Structure 1
Amino acid sequence: MAAEAEKLNLDNIIARLLEVRGSKPGKNVQLTENEIKGLCIKSREIFLSQPILLELEAPLKICGI
């Protein structure tokens, strides 16, 4: 499965997702099952390779402007 993730054309997938950005909500983008699985695998690899910036415990209050 990892080999399939390496064969993905991520630029093409991202371009197809961005094409519908200005469309009405709910617009479908045609992705194959392998593209979705590969995208999930690649995303997971990237997130796991990055250092953890914060370790927070509940309860947590977030305030902003």
Structure 2
Amino acid sequence: MSASIFTRDLDRALRFAREVDAGNLHINWGTQWRADFMPYGGLKDSGTGKEGPRYAIREMTEEKMVVIH
């Protein structure tokens, strides 16, 4: 699952990033953006883990990508 937040308050956005239960978070941008060199995928039982060759090793961890646009 991806999430996004639109705000001028960076502290609020980073607080949201810590609290939201999503594998990807975009700040001031929609959820359609993706960087192939970053981890991409859901958390917990969502999907089959992170995509990308470097992230197959970390399948058992919960990483979160936060993008500030």
How high is the TM-score relative to the length of structure 2? 0.25
Query: When the two structures are superposed, what TM-score results if normalisation uses the length of structure 1?
Result: 0.26
Higher Cα Rg, which structure: 1
Which has the larger share of strand?
2
The higher-RCO structure (CA 8 Å, 6+ apart) is: 1
Structure that is richer in helix per residue: 1
